[in-house]
């Protein structure tokens, strides 16, 4: 069972210490979504119902009459809310350099495509040229990232990581120069432990040396893994401390070199809830274990991320792992669903399929410009979130049937994702105002982001008919004015629907 991270904040002495002892045993993940509201809003502005509800809760722990309780509670919740907000809203040590990583990274990663140790400079250069010739670079895929197995098994006598002389005979600097000359960027891989996951040299206790080496080689991004964890008697900081060591090394290197830092991609697998802390150190953080090229794995990752969508925004993104589009047992509809979810949840989009043999079908999915535009939205940095689970009751964790009904904001309107997790076709119906981004009393134009067609307007509700098994519908809804006159009932939501003279409408 995943261990909850508790907060550590000193509240005022006296009766409110009891509140502190109670709240400090609550996982901060439970307090965080509410606390984030306090980043923008004082509890004094909350409605009376809020104070009544909290009053009963505080009375239960014996601090109802404490004059400092609200001050202490506000401090605690504000702290929880600021744990992982965008850096422009925080004033904490280790704020991420805003010259890089504002939007999710797009590009290619060699991990799955060449099974790590088959990689060589010829393959990397061929891939870079294909990213250009296939038009992928033109739509935003501009990183060429080398995963593990690129080095010799041992460091040099001077202590440096050494590129494999057989597979990278021209050296890493020559390779990155050629990639940069194509107008692309490039990334490298290391590990926060003694070794990488393939038992090549890791960067623990060599963080400054390796950061400088990677910069000298010409890399723009560092993916940082979580294998070969040092024994506790050697590393007292824990997992968070391992990543802070490299983040500090990158920050120091940035100061001394005057150059923009690496995009720092934390591959911690979600074990220590990095969505709560990783924004302090890098621009993306893996939220789960490794993806596999099958529907079960895709749905499991989506399920886990459905509860932490609030953590993604500009300069920091939940990383759902590389794209398996074009790989394994995924059907065409499953691959579309996979890509749609990753794009709209603002995950990094890293291709890892064999580009020399890529199919038109795979290219069609990877090249969906309308979905990519939302992933790379310059105005809205937040992810879509579920508004209804569908098969299961809301807030149910289920890796077979995760949330099916999702919505979010974009620069150009409200984004909707409908996901059919069933093994048979399904009609998918929702009331527009189930999404918090829809205004009652309005009608909306409907743009299908897969057929790339405008499909009239919707008022009050929408039904997607015959969504294929494991298929997806992605829509962009734009305000098209007042809803038609005479729609009945008079309110989009019938609960507590009331006229100005006090007449209620009840949905019978």
pLDDT digits (tens, 9 = 90+) for 393-438: 999 999 999 999 999 999 999 999 999 999 999 999 999 999 999 9
Q: Of 290, 333, 354, 448, which residue is the catalytic one? A: 290
Q: What pLDDT does 320 receive?
A: 99
Catalytic status, residue 225: yes
Mean pLDDT of 64-76: 44
Could you report the per-residue pLDDT of 338-374, keeping only the tens digit for each? 999 999 999 999 999 999 999 999 999 999 999 999 9
133 sits in which H/E element: helix 121-133
* Per-residue three-class SS string for 239-297: HHHHHHHHHHHHHHHHHHHCCCCCEEEECCCCCCCHHHCHHHCCCEEECCCCCCCCHHH
Give dist(CA 253, CA 261) in Å, integer: 8
Q: Is 155 exposed, middle or buried (0-12, 13-18, 19+ CB in 10 A)?
A: middle
Could you report the per-residue pLDDT of 96-133, keeping only the tens digit for each? 677 899 999 999 999 876 666 789 999 999 999 999 99
Q: What crossing angle do the helices spanning 207-217 and 238-257 adopt, rounded to 10°?
A: 50
Q: What pLDDT does 115 receive?
A: 65
Q: What pLDDT does 238 receive?
A: 87
What separation, in Å, do the N-terminal and C-terminal C-alpha atoms of the chain show?
45
For the chain, give the percent of residues with pLDDT over 70: 79
Q: Is residue 468 predicted with pLDDT exceeding 80?
A: yes
Least confident of 219-233, 328-342, 414-428, 485-499: 485-499
Q: Of 220, 225, 313, 377, which residue is the catalytic one? A: 225
Q: What pLDDT does 96 receive?
A: 61
Query: In the predicted model, what is the mean pLDDT of the chain?
Result: 85
Q: Is residue 28 predicted with pLDDT exceeding 70?
A: no
Q: What pLDDT does 6 receive?
A: 33
Give dist(CA 498, CA 486) in Å, integer: 16
Sign (positive/negative) of CA torsion 356, 362, 366, 370? positive
Q: Is residue 46 predicted with pLDDT exceeding 70?
A: no
Q: Is residue 65 predicted with pLDDT exceeding 50?
A: no
Its pTM stands at 0.83
Least confident of 218-232, 384-398, 466-480: 218-232
Helix (H, G, I), strand (E, B) or coil at 355: helix
Q: Angle at CA 190, nearest 5°, toward 187 and 194?
A: 175
Tokens of 113: 């495509």
Mean pLDDT of 262-286: 97
Instruction: Note whether 188 and 145 are within 8 A (CB).
Output: yes
Q: What pLDDT does 116 receive?
A: 66
């Amino acid at each position: 069972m995943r261990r909850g991270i508790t907060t550590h904040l000193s509240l005022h002495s006296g009766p409110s210490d009891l509140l502190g002892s109670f709240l400090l045993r609550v996982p901060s993940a439970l307090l965080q979504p509410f606390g984030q509201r306090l980043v923008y809003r004082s509890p004094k502005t909350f409605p009376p119902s809020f104070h009544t509800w909290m009053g009963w809760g505080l009375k239960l722990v014996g601090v109802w009459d404490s004059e400092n309780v609200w001050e202490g509670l506000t401090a605690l919740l504000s702290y929880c809310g600021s744990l992982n907000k965008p850096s422009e809203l925080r004033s904490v040590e280790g704020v991420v350099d805003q010259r890089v990583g504002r939007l999710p990274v797009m590009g290619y990663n060699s991990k799955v495509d060449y099974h790590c140790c088959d990689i060589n400079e010829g393959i990397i250069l061929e891939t870079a040229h294909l990213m250009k010739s296939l038009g992928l670079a033109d739509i935003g895929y501009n990183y060429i990232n080398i995963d593990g197995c690129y080095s010799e098994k041992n460091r040099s006598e001077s202590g440096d990581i050494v590129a494999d002389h057989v597979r990278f005979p021209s050296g890493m600097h020559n390779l990155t120069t050629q990639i940069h000359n194509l107008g692309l960027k490039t990334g490298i891989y290391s590990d926060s432990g003694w070794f990488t996951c393939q038992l090549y040299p890791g960067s623990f206790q060599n963080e400054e040396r390796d950061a400088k080496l990677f910069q000298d080689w010409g890399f723009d991004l560092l993916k940082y893994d979580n294998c070969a964890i040092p024994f506790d008697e050697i590393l007292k900081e824990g997992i968070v401390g391992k990543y802070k060591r490299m983040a500090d090394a990158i920050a120091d290197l940035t100061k001394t070199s005057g150059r923009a830092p690496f995009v720092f991609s934390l591959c911690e697998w979600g074990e220590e809830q990095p969505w709560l802390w990783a924004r302090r150190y890098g621009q993306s953080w893996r939220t789960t274990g490794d993806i596999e090229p099958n529907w079960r794995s895709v749905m499991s990752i989506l399920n886990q991320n459905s509860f932490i969508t609030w953590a993604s925004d500009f300069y920091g993104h939940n990383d759902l792992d590389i794209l398996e589009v074009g790989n394994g047992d995924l059907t065409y509809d499953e691959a579309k669903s996979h890509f749609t979810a990753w794009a709209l949840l603002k995950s990094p989009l890293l291709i890892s399929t064999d580009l020399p043999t890529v199919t038109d079908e795979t290219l069609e999915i990877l090249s969906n410009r309308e979905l990519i535009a939302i992933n790379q939205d310059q105005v809205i940095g937040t992810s879509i979130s579920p508004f209804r689970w569908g098969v299961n009751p809301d807030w149910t964790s289920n890796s077979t049937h995760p949330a099916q009904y999702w919505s979010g904001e974009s620069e150009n309107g409200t984004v909707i994702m409908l996901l059919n997790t069933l093994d048979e076709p399904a009609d998918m119906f929702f009331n527009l105002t189930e999404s918090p981004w829809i205004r009652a009393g309005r009608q909306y134009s409907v743009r299908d982001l897969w057929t790339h067609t405008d499909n009239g307007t919707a008022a009050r509700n929408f039904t997607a008919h015959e969504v294929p098994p494991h298929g997806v519908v992605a829509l962009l809804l734009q305000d098209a004015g007042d809803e038609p006159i005479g729609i009945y009932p008079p309110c989009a939501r019938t609960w507590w629907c009331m006229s100005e003279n006090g007449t209620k409408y009840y949905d019978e």
